[in-house]
Every structure is written in structure tokens, then in C-alpha cells.
Amino acid sequence: MDSFDLIVIGCGPAGEKAGAQAAYFGKRVAIIERAVPGGSCINTGTLPSKTLREAALYFSGLSQRGLYGIDYSLRDNLTVHDFMHHEREVVEMARRRMLRNLELHKIEYMQGQASFEDRYTVAVRNGGSLLQLRGEVILIATGSQPHRPDEISFDDVHTFDSDTFLRMDRIPKSLAVIGGGVIGCEYASIFVALGTKVTLVDGRDRLLPFLDSEIADVLRQRLQELGMEFWFHERPVKVENSATGAALYMKSGKQLEVDAALFAAGRRAAVDGLGLEQAGLSLNDRGYVPVDQNYRTAVPGIYAAGDVIGFPALASTSMEQGRVAVCHAFGFKYKQRVASMLPMGIYTIPEISAAGETEDSCKEKNIPYCVGRARYANNARGHIAGDTSGLLKLVFSPADKKLLGVSIIGESATELIHVGMMVLDNGSTIDEFIEQVFNYPTLSEMYKYAAYDGLGNLAGHKLREG
């Protein structure tokens, strides 16, 4: 039996960064991965979908339509294989980078199915071989997997989950997306940009309910302009696959026939075969591994980080959780906490990002607030980029003008959010945006005019159109 200071189960963002952090401080580390390195971030989720988004914008010419009024149509003979060429290159590059990072940190990488034998012992099975490893500290970083409702017939030819969706052999002419969350909205917007007839089905009455409702409404309106249909307050109870497509039967009695269907409604911890019970662990009622603020499980010496513990299930956050977990486990005086201010990045078309409070959350928490807005339509760089529907929204305290939250929809939203995050994290006021000088023409200067708009609203009159 080989002994390690740290055994990491799962080589996704949390596992890789946790292992590298421990190895950097001289610990002997083993990382076990049952599939391929990178987890869903590199292989089925974050990078593939974001690369697909860029390919959709390129092939569809959507970004040029706002500039020149040109309506491109996708070539009829374009296959999924053609379409995903750049995605394959990006994924392969990311895998190589990850394995190189492990090699530089002298981490022992092992391929196989890990399973607990007891609190300290992990067995690794690969084909007919069996290894037993002992770890003083063990980190579970196995990620999550899609929930597959029993009543839905998944054939991965016409009816897919979010992990199998990109394996389709052709771009569908019509697509049903079940679930108005992040994954559902991202894929729905990508395929509607390609000219696919998309119908988004959700049991709720709006998209992305955790977002500022004004921002979510802008997204819905933009997607409607691109031709997307929305079936709210609907839920499929049965799917029939045929040689040509899928028929979805709704609880209301309505029926929807499409070339393909994507179910993107719910995920759970990917712990199948891990034998958590052998280590004295169990999942919570949401299907995830419960942890405390230091990412400790109920069993001393066993930690968990990343999507396997549930919300927020972001690659950026998972990396930090892994680092914090091992710093706590070994007493490193380095990374003590995950930042309280976390950005939310949603790669729809148009993209969305947010941090801090929203107008809706302020209402729910009875927090006094005021709002300032700046619209891409009034920004020179917005016009240059061809985006005239975007919006940057500041929420701040009327008492002292302290910034409470930022929400953005439009070109480069996931980049722009970091300007607002710095002000939020420092506890500064919206005056910070007014005092700074921004390059012209840039989208960043919208922060200044959103702040001016907010001051105008606070004083009861408009100082200037943003």
C-alpha cells in the first residue's frame, strides 16, 4: 500500500488546483481520475460550450448582423464534426496543460475508478489491476452529473442530457431545451443563433430566476427576436424517440415534435461507485456531499470541493474551494477563504454577468436601494460592436451611495463585471466610477454613466442619459 499526504479523487478544476497547492508546499500528492482529466469543465461543460458559442457566432455571422444587416444562413452540409473542430483543439490543449501542471508539481496521476475501503484507504481499479492507497487527507472532487428523470427516454441520438448533447451527429433543424437555467439558456441561445428552431420549456414563469429580473427580461426579449419560443409553466412527462426525432408530451396535454431534445434540468453529485458509506459519508437531501465553511465533511480528514458539494458549481469557485480545503487541512498560512464576492458568468448570446445584490434581492431582504443604468445603445463602443440592446445596472445604497451589486447583459459582460467587483469588494461608493478616467470609446465607461444615472435618480432628476 502506497501512502500519500493527500489523495485527490477527481481531476477537474477543484482537484487539479488542490493537488497543485499541496504539492507546492511539499506534500506528496496522488490524483485519481476515472475518465479523462479536466472533468466536465474541460470535457463536457464549461470550455466546450463556450467554444461552441464562439463558433456559433462565427458560422452564423450573428455578430455582423447588427453591424451590416447581413443575414447569414448556416451551410446545409455543415456537420457537428465540422462545427466542433475548434472545440476539440481547445479541449485537447486544456487537457495537456492540466497534465503538464501535475507533472511540474510532481503529482502522481492515476487513471481508474476510485472507491473508499475505509476512512484512510482508497482502492483504484483500472481494468484488471488494483492499487490500494493510504491518505492522511482525502479530497473528494468528483464533480456532478446530469439528473435523468425515470420517465424520460434518453437515447443519446435524439434525446440528450447536457453531458451527451455535443455527441450528436448533426445540427438539428428543431430543438427542444428543457430547463431555463444556465446550461439550458446557454445551449438554447447558441443553437437559435445557428438558425435552429428552438423551443425552451420550463416549469417556472421566467428564465434564470436568480438573476435581476430586468436583466432576465432583456435576455428573453433578445432570444425572442432571434426566433426562440418559450413554453413556461410546462413540464414534459413523456418522450418518444423515433428514427427522425423526438415527441415530447407535456403535463398540460400539449405535444412538441422536434429533431432533438436537450434535458438540462438538474444535476447531482457524481459519486457512483465511490463507496462513500465505507468512509462513513452520505449525501444530503439535495444529492450533494455536505461540507462546512472549510470544506470539511462529517469525517475528519476527508474534504470535498467543487461541483460535488453543489452551489455555486462554477469552475472559478471550485478552484478556490480546492485550494482553501488543502490549506485548512495542512495548516498552510496561505489561502484561508474563498472570496465573499463571487462573479456569476452566463455565456448566453448575449452574455450575462452579475455580482452582489440585485434589485430583486434588495426587495426580498428589505434593503433600501437606488438604481443607475447605462445602455449599450448610448455607448459609442456598443455601437461599434453592433450591440445596442445591452444594459449595465448598478444597485447602491441611497444613504451613503455604497455599491451593493452590478448586473450586466451584453458584449463582454463577463469581462466588464470585474471592474464593479473591485468596488464591491472594497466597500466603495459609486463615486469611484465617476472619479476614474476610462478609455474612450470603451464599454467600461458605462460604469461612469450608470453612476451619473444613479445620482440623478437619487436626486429625483436625470443628470444625463447613460
Residue 462: pLDDT band (50, 70, 90) is low
**431 is in which domain, residue-wise?**
350-459
Do residues 141 and 170 both lie within one domain?
no
Q: What is the pLDDT of residue 80?
A: 67
Judge whether 337 lies within some domain.
no
Q: What is the CATH number of the domain that holds 289?
A: 3.50.50.60
Given a cut of 70, whether residue 76 has pLDDT beyond it is: no
Residue 121 and residue 106 share a domain? yes
Q: Which amino acid is at 48?
A: P
Place of cell 428543457: 178
Q: Which amino acid is at 355?
A: A
User: How many structural domains comprise the chain?
Assistant: 3
CA distances from 100 to 12, 86, 90, 269, 412 (A): 14, 21, 15, 27, 30
- Tell me the DSSP string of 349-380: SS-EEEEE--HHHHHHHT---EEEEEEGGG-H
Regarding whether 110 and 254 lie in a shared domain, the answer is: no
| Coil vs helix vs strand at 84 | coil
State residue 49's pLDDT score. 80
Long-range contacts of 461-464 (CB under 8 A, 24+ apart): none
* pTM, entire model: 0.88
Domain boundary among 212, 237, 264: 264
pLDDT of residue 374: 98
C-alpha cell at 202: 420550463
> Phi/psi of residue 16, each to 5°?
-60, -50
The residues, any chain, with a CB within 8 Å of residue 422's CB and separated by 6 or more, are none
The owner of cell 456559433 is: 56
**Each residue of 378-430: pLDDT tens digit?**
999 999 888 899 999 999 999 999 999 999 999 999 999 999 999 999 999 99
Backbone angles phi, psi at 97, to 5 degrees: -60, -40
Nearest residue to 308 via CA among 318, 293, 296, 323: 318
Q: Give 295-314 as a DSSP string.
A: -B-SSTTEEE-GGGG-TT--
Confidence of residue 64 (pLDDT cuts 50, 70, 90): low
Is 389 found in the same domain as 297?
Answer: no
The residues near 382 (Cβ < 8 Å, ≥ 6 apart) are 375, 376, 388, 390, 410, 411, 443, 446
| Beta carbons within 8 Å of 273's beta carbon, 6+ residues apart | 34, 113, 115
Which residues, at least 6 apart from 88, have a Cβ–Cβ distance to it below 8 Å? Answer: none
Same-domain status, 274 and 244: no
Question: Prior bond to 441 cis, omega within 30?
Answer: yes
State which of 238, 264, 290 marks the end of a domain.
Answer: 264
The DSSP letter of residue 176 is: E
Q: Which residue is listed with cell 437531501?
A: 285
466: in domain: no
**Average pLDDT estimate for 311-330:** 94
Maximal C-alpha separation, the chain:
75
Same domain, 131 and 273: yes
Q: What one-letter code names the amino acid at 312?
A: P
What pLDDT does residue 464 have? Answer: 46
Q: Is the same domain home to 127 and 38?
A: yes
Across 101-131, b (16+ Cβ under 10 Å) vs e yields bbeebebbbbebbbbbeeebbbbbeeeeeeb
Residue appearing with cell numbers 469557485: 317
Contact 11/31 with Cβ under 8 angstroms?
yes
- Per DSSP, the residues of 133-158 read EEEEEEEE---EEE---TTS---SSS
On whether both 403 and 256 belong to a single domain, the answer is: no
Same domain, residue pair 176 and 242: yes
Q: What's the Cα-to-Cα distance from 417 to each of 53, 306, 411, rounded to whole Å?
A: 19, 22, 11
Residue 69 confidence (pLDDT) above 80: no
Tell me: the pLDDT tens digits for 167-218?
A: 888 889 999 999 999 999 999 999 998 889 999 999 999 999 999 999 999 9
Domain boundary among 221, 249, 264: 264
